[in-house]
Structure 1
Amino acid sequence: MIEFWLCAGLLLLTALAFVLIPVLRGRKLQAEEDRTALNVTLYQERLQDLQAQNAAGALNAEQLAAGRDEAARELLADTEGAQALPPQRTLGIKVPLVFALLMPLLGYGLYQHWGAIDDVERARTFADQPKTIEEMTARLEAAVKSDPKSAESWYFLGRTYMAQERAADAAQAFERAIEVAGRAPELLGQWAQALYFAGGKQWTPQLQALTDEALKADPAEVTSLGLLGIAAYESGQFKQAIGHWQQLVAVLPAEDPSRQAIQGGIDRAREQLGEPVEEAAVSAGPGLTVQVALADDLQAKVQPGDAVFIFARAVSGPPMPLAVKRLTVADLPAEVRLSDSDAMMPQLKISGFEQVQLVARISRSGNATAGEWVGSSLPLASKTTEPQQLLIDSADSKAP
């Protein structure tokens, strides 16, 4: 922000120049005018003195004339170069000086009231793409700290916390967004979802009230419908889960990549009830199918509970993952599908980039950015439909 204040200072100096330069010039002209008036007064006193001496007989007519001529020459010499000044009225020096002192304070006060220094600072902060999700989180945390009334910043901070599995922090962020923007259905759904996972997937009257309020305002609120389906499935209420998820599928666009995952949930619920599974219920949608396995020589070096992060990142673009799934070593080998519905940020999706790289990382600490073992693929087209084989077989260069 140094450049901004330097420019503001230069503008202030320019404004002060318009005030002070005329004052200084006026003082110079006033001094010239005062000197001329003094010379004229002295000339008149000299003439009066010569006339008094002539009346007293000390000077004759010839000497009187000579004295007058000499006084006139002295007056002309003293006033030579002086400009004739038109009559003018000035404010004096006090009023301009007071105005010059008040101008910076007035300008600062007006800018504090109508200015947008916080917006300028945030624009500079978000000018470059973040390199990691941690950097994105830090930027959003700084944004809400500088402008707590930005509902958008609180919302995206909550989404980022959810991507990092920080559900409790996400719940607080969504709650602040609601305090600022009001009880919008989408925000209510996101808040309820964060509270559900922060509370160990225990359904509470508060969650029921939030989802009821969201769906009353918008019956097609997708987060609330999805959450109700998850909660019902986790509690063994498979028919209710199918009903909520079918409502969700009905309101989603045909091209929405998340339809496949929802249909998968419906199929699993039908299997639990012993009902036939509908085939090809929804379009597979764009995405990458990844088959992940662990190298044989690493089997004894890992633990079943170690986290496994499977993600896709752009070959030419931001280094932060575009989509991510989390498993454990006990789940391997496994097949997962990465699609736009798994995007960590709404504006960064797999379909938005021509080429991506697939990575699988084992992290004992649960840190998605650094671990012990890793496997990666060569660059491939984001529209690839064939399943991709990914073998975790190398030491992670980003190991802590």
Structure 2
Amino acid sequence: MLIWIIFAVMTGAAVLSVLWPLGRRQPPIFADTAGAKSLYRSQVAEIDRDLGRRLIGSAEAEAAKAEAARRLLRAAAVETAPAGDSEPSLRRRRAASAIALSCVPLLALLVYGAYGSPSVPDQPLAARLKASPAGQDFAIALARIESHLAANPTDGKGWSVLAPVYLRQGRFEDAAKAFASAIRHDGATAERHAGQGEALILAAGGVVTSGARESLAEAVKLDPANARARFFLAIGQEQDGNIPGAVASLKALLAEAPADAPWTGAVKARLESLQGPSDPAAAAAIANLPAQDQAAAVRGMVDSLAARLGEGGGTLAEWSRLIRSQSVLGEKPAALKSLATARERLAADADALAALGTLAGELGLQEAAR
């Protein structure tokens, strides 16, 4: 209520300061004729003296007196301002002032009542942060959790709640730190280590770093069936150039997946981009070779695929597999050339072009092209 009293006083003072002059009678302003008359008499006396000394003629004396008289008339015969307000004019101005002083605040209150929310109680942030999270909007709930953790940094369960939120928001570094805090203060779990590994990978632009590998390995150690950690470890094998190992890991992951697992689509797409729909036998054969022979076999397979696609045609999966393999092998110029050719061949397929753009960003080929 106090705030409304303050607003009312301020509004009244502002309106009154503007309208107060309109309610006052304007005093008449007349010319000061006393000085003009004295000057006229002095001029006439001087003209008479000059006439007596015969310094001027009678005609000149009469003309000088006439000019002095005209000056006196201009100064004294008319008022320089109106004689003041008439009573009806003054009453009209005072009435207008009173109407404005009362109507302006009243109109403001009516507009606020129609379009504002006067019945809604105050909602200070501190009180909202202390309220139950149920029914709060997402931003308030997030601020509530962050405020709580700022005051209680050792609350591991709170960090475990906040970490996935940061991950979904794209705040990958914050997510990795939050997962680390949850592990440090509330113990290690497979999901926390897997989440930390994923956050580190996304923060590094899709590269499976050594820190991410350690987190993922810990997750698999705690839960050998953890699909999240196994998937990203397979991507790490792929980035190391161990395509057969990545294929084998992804196949094993699919073989053990529950029938209704929502992540199987992503695993199948990754597997198809690695081996292509027509190369499963070749991949299996390479996987059975000795370690020292696998690199040469992989390079031969990549060169063979590049030669075949260079002759024409090619599906999105085949081009993706070629570009990824060349990038992993360190052949950036060849990967860029294959990317450009794939875009030309698949120009009519908007989805394929979008997938190629995503792949280029993941492999850092766009930056290399600049």
TM over 0.5: no
Q: Which has the higher helix share?
A: 2
The bucket for the TM-score relative to the shorter chain is 0.3 to 0.5
Q: Which has the higher contact order (CA 8 A, sep 6+)?
A: 1
Find the structure with the greater CA-based Rg. 2
Q: Which has the higher strand share?
A: 1
Task: Give the structure-1-normalised TM-score.
Answer: 0.35
